[in-house]
Structure 1
């Protein structure tokens, strides 16, 4: 970036007092589990709430598109990249402490969910075993209400603090949020900042047993060694998306470097050189085929970024 401060955003990002790290034209393939995606105009890791507030305010005021991402575990970024600011939560959003009195973890949205699961296990605290092996951050897990039909993270949320343009920081109790299977009621421009998760003491052998069973099931049924975004589609009511895709004869189907996994048909994997277009075309092909065969419209769970 040259010294000519052409925009208010650039002026903010080159200011020494800005509490964050700024990467111009950063390839998003480095920040998604798919290992796919063109450059973000700016990739910014904000280290504090103050920096996040300033950055969001400037983007809103100047009309620059912005989005907050976690570890990119359910994100497909276009080959052309994203013409705005990709924000990620750094230092102050990566703290996790346990409040003994309340029996709750106070967790920053940038903390990997897996590390909270491990910390709970270390303290013989139950309630988060279902999330073992989940690759994303706590913020991402809350937004998509990570879990299964039977157990999900929203059920464990005692409170959540978010930041919204124009409203600032707001703290709500967990039951003020709408939680549903793989969805939540957070607004698209609402940034999850931190939350409190309720847990309860339990026998460590019971906790370990649940975690090991869950991990074993994952390893056996999911293509964990190939780059993917996790499950691509939400399960329709009373149905399994993977089963529908498999019954429609699409297991192993390929477009370019993207392939419907041979192991689990609700996963589309990057076999090595997939482009975002390959993945998106394959998603659309699967949707069309399942709709034509069963009359069911599969809803993507993956987030799309930078597509027209």
Structure 2
């Protein structure tokens, strides 16, 4: 692997901002994580394509990061290149007559929801309060148990390494609970969302109700990544299983199972990634011992060796 060669090749040669050793804690909602060996903010599809080509040729591992809202980064950081989508992927267009929104993957999901509300388009109310970018939301089919963003995707523009830009129709993608059939290397660059005409007052009222419920049932004001485990099949969600084991408030170092929502692990200000992992292991093992349920992580991990 020659990360140095990749850095020298890309620096100043493409429409991208290339840096070394940037601490990833600044780019995650957990505010946890060591440095990336290299970080490339790619502003155009051509820059993205070139960066991936060079990284592949030099044998450098790479990963695409959005707002880091569902990510735990190792305390040691990531010995590869973190790719962030930049300028051309941050555009949004509202097609009011067609009740559609076309937005780049780097656009915050909250901005898409706000644009839909202002245009009196219904269908994204469930997404209010969900952090992260549109690209990240699409890649993991973000949503609730009853509604998810995949149901609103008319089409996607994706970059597929080795094949380039492709348009994928939403009906050709399988959408599941925190899962899609998109290829693991596919990078979502843009999404067209098909929404419904609605009444802005009613849309706003519904969003206010949902936000009030989130504020009452989820920890606010402390860094976290949202739910750390997926809800297993059955009537009881991960939070209920963890709470039944008496783990609300359980802590290790600066990481703690939230007193408000037992499937959230919060950073009390001094947490390391090792602290979060220790808490997650306790949650997982206690639930498995008590119920036999093998909870699966929803949070993604970066920079860990095992």
Q: TM-score range by the shorter chain?
A: over 0.9
Question: Which residue in the other structure is 1:23 paired with?
Answer: 19
Tell me the alpha carbon deviations over residues 124-163 of structure 1, each in whole angstroms, 9 at most, x when there is no partner.
1101110011110000001111101110000000001111
Give the conservation status (yes or no) of the 8 Å contact 2:7–2:18.
Answer: no
The question of 1:250 aligning with 2:247 is answered yes
Question: Which residue in the other structure is 1:183 paired with?
Answer: 179
Q: Number of residue pairs matched?
A: 303
SS in 1 for 2:98: coil
SS in 2 for 1:25: strand
Separation (CA, whole Å) in 2 of partners of 1:271 and 1:100: 43
Question: Which residue in the other structure is 1:128 paired with?
Answer: 124
The question of 1:118 aligning with 2:114 is answered yes
Correspondence list, 1:154-165, <5 A: 154-165=150-161
Select 1:260's aligned residue among 249, 257, 260. Answer: 257
What residue ranges of structure 2 are gaps of 5+ in the alignment? none
4+ residue runs of structure 1 moved beyond 6 angstroms?
none
Separation (CA, whole Å) in 2 of partners of 1:101 and 1:278: 50
- The alpha carbon displacement at 1:101 in A equals 4.6
RMSD, matched Cα: 1.3
Per the normalisation by structure 2, the TM-score is: 0.96
The question of 1:200 aligning with 2:200 is answered no
What residue ranges of structure 1 are gaps of 5+ in the alignment? none
Question: Which residue in the other structure is 1:295 paired with?
Answer: 292
Question: Which residue in the other structure is 1:151 paired with?
Answer: 147
Give the conservation status (yes or no) of the 8 Å contact 1:60–1:165.
Answer: no
Per the normalisation by structure 1, the TM-score is: 0.96
- The alpha carbon displacement at 1:17 in A equals 3.5
Question: Which residue in the other structure is 1:281 paired with?
Answer: 278
Separation (CA, whole Å) in 2 of partners of 1:199 and 1:217: 24
Question: Which residue in the other structure is 1:102 paired with?
Answer: 98
Tell me the alpha carbon deviations over residues 18-61 of structure 1, each in whole angstroms, 9 at most, x when there is no partner.
11112210000000000000000011111111100100111122
The question of 1:169 aligning with 2:192 is answered no
Separation (CA, whole Å) in 2 of partners of 1:250 and 1:303: 22
Correspondence list, 1:208-223, <5 A: 208-223=204-219
Question: Which residue in the other structure is 2:221 paired with?
Answer: 225
Structure 1's 217 and 114: CA in aligned 2 closer, same or farther, altered over 3 A?
Answer: same
SS in 1 for 2:46: helix
